[in-house]
Every structure is written in structure tokens, then in C-alpha cells.
């Protein structure tokens, strides 16, 4: 069974959806490690509850980004992690991890990329007044929310849409699309 690490910075609802899918057997993978860059993030409690080991460290406590990533890399190797799954990890992945996990790092983003990259993609879509937005799963490269696209799903923006209601709709899509796409990737099958 493939061993995956999830990187997250916040609430961790996608972390939870992935863990739940492994428990249900729809995702045949082992979540071996949580990597989190915020001590107080809710995702840390979720990992504890699910008895998943976590590595929680702020980059600021290291002299450089590469030293921070080397510390992460050591943990990933200790847990024999094969794939890195970014789920609301609000940081750019640097050279150290990109080199060590080339082609094995994926991210989910709450827009139809390349539209609305970076922070608050949901707010950006509302601000732009578009009628369709969505979710994208993609391979990670050195850019922010760039890299080859693996899967996309549209979400319609209604007339009365608020940030909260759109976030709810987008996350509901994410929680199904992400585990499904990861499963397809791990088994080398077709994915849309
Ligand atoms: C998710 O909606 C994810 O798409 C987004 O952060 C949220 C994390 O929610 N990621 C990005 O914006 C990446 N640029 P969660 O902590 O509840 O999973």
C-alpha cells in the first residue's frame, strides 16, 4: 500500500476527507505523516485523533528554508513516504523537497487553474464576478499553484453567493475529488 504524507496549515477538512477515504477503503493508501507549519492548526488535533504521527514546525525556527525542508525530508524518509499530498499547505515547496519527490507532489486549489492562483481564490472569483469557478488538482512545481493539471471540477456561482456558501460548495467537491484523484494516481489508472 502506498505511503502518503499530507501537508496542511489550517482546518484540515481535506486531510480528514483523505483519512476517512483510507478508512472506508475507497483510497488504498496509508496516511503515514502529517506535516504542518502552524502549531495551533486544527489539523494537528485531527491527526492526533486519527493516531497519525505529525511533524509540526515553523520555518522561522530554522536558519533557512532548505534546512526546514531537510528536517521535513528526514521525517518523510523515516516514515518511508512515497507521495506528498498538499491539502491547504499555504507555502511554496522549495528545491530540497521538489528534488527528492520529483513528480510525486500534488496540490488541490479552490479555482479552475490557471484562474485565481494564490491566496483566497474563492474571494478572487467572487470579486471577478465570474459565474463558474471550481477545484483543480495538479502536480506541484516551483511556482504558486502552477504545474501540470491532473483533474478539474466546475462549481457554479449563484446570484446570491457569499464567500461562506461558495467555500462550502467548493469544499464539498474537494472532499470527493481529492481522494478519488489520489487513488487514480496511486494505481496509475486513468483520471479526469
Ligand atoms: C482548501 O480549500 C484548499 O483547496 C485550499 O485551502 C483550503 C484548505 O482547507 N488551498 C489553497 O488555497 C492552496 N493555494 P482545509 O484545511 O479545510 O482542507
Which residues of the chain are modeled with pLDDT < 70? 189-192
Strands 2-8 and 83-86: parallel
Hey, whose CA ends up nearest to atom 17 of ligand 1?
13
Q: How far is the CA of 116 from the centre of ligand 1 (A)?
A: 13
Q: Point out the residues that are catalytic.
A: 109
Nearest atom, ligand 1, residue 42 CA: 16
Calpha distance 43→26 (Å, rounded): 22
Residue 57: per-residue pLDDT: 95
Nearest atom, ligand 1, residue 17 CA: 18
Hey, whose CA ends up nearest to atom 16 of ligand 1?
12
Residue 189: per-residue pLDDT: 56
Strands 132-139 and 149-156: antiparallel
Has this prediction a pTM greater than 0.85? yes
Hey, whose CA ends up nearest to atom 4 of ligand 1?
109
Which of 9, 13, 21, 88 most suits a substitution to test ligand 1, by most atoms within 8 Å of the C-beta?
Answer: 88
Residue 190: per-residue pLDDT: 46
- Paired with 151 in beta bridges are 137
Residue 10: per-residue pLDDT: 97
180, 191, 188, 186: which is closest to 3 by C-alpha?
A: 186
**pLDDT tens-digit profile of 124-145?**
999 999 999 999 999 999 998 9
DSSP string, 125-172: HHHHT-SEEEEEEEE--SSSS-S-EEEEEEEEPPTT--HHHHHHHHHH
Where do runs of H (alpha helix) occur along the chain? 13-24, 42-49, 65-78, 95-100, 121-128, 163-186
Find all residues with CB under 8 Å of 127, minimum gap 6, and list them: none
Place of cell 490557471: 114
Residues with CB under 6 A from ligand 1: 8, 10-14, 87-88, 108-110, 121, 145, 171, 174
Question: How many C-beta neighbours within 10 Å does residue 127 have?
Answer: 11
Do 28 and 1 form a contact (C-beta atoms < 8 A)?
Answer: yes
Residue 188: per-residue pLDDT: 87
Tell me, which fold does domain 2-187 have in CATH? Rossmann fold (3.40.50)
Instruction: Read off the C-alpha cell for 110.
Output: 479552490
**For residue 41, how many C-alpha atoms fall within 13 Å in the half-sphere facing its CB?**
27
Nearest atom, ligand 1, residue 117 CA: 14
Amino acid at each position: 500500500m502506498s505511503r502518503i504524507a499530507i501537508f496542511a496549515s489550517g482546518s484540515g477538512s481535506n486531510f480528514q476527507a483523505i483519512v476517512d477515504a483510507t478508512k472506508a477503503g475507497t483510497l488504498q493508501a496509508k496516511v503515514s505523516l502529517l506535516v504542518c507549519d502552524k502549531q495551533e492548526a486544527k489539523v494537528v488535533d485531527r491527526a492526533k485523533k486519527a493516531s497519525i504521527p505529525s511533524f509540526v514546525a515553523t520555518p522561522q525556527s530554522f536558519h533557512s528554508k532548505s534546512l526546514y525542508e531537510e528536517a521535513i525530508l528526514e521525517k518523510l524518509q523515516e516514515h518511508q513516504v512515497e507521495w506528498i499530498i498538499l491539502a491547504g499547505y499555504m507555502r511554496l515547496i522549495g528545491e530540497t523537497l521538489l528534488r527528492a519527490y520529483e513528480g510525486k507532489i500534488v496540490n488541490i486549489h479552490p479555482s479552475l487553474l490557471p484562474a485565481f492562483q494564490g491566496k483566497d481564490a474563492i474571494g478572487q472569483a467572487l470579486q471577478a464576478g465570474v459565474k463558474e469557478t471550481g477545484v483543480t488538482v495538479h502536480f506541484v512545481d516551483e511556482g504558486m499553484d502552477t504545474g501540470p493539471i491532473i483533474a478539474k471540477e466546475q462549481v457554479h456561482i449563484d446570484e446570491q453567493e457569499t464567500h461562506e456558501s461558495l467555500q462550502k460548495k467548493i469544499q464539498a467537491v474537494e472532499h470527493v475529488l481529492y481522494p478519488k484523484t489520489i487513488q487514480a494516481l496511486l494505481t496509475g489508472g486513468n483520471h479526469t
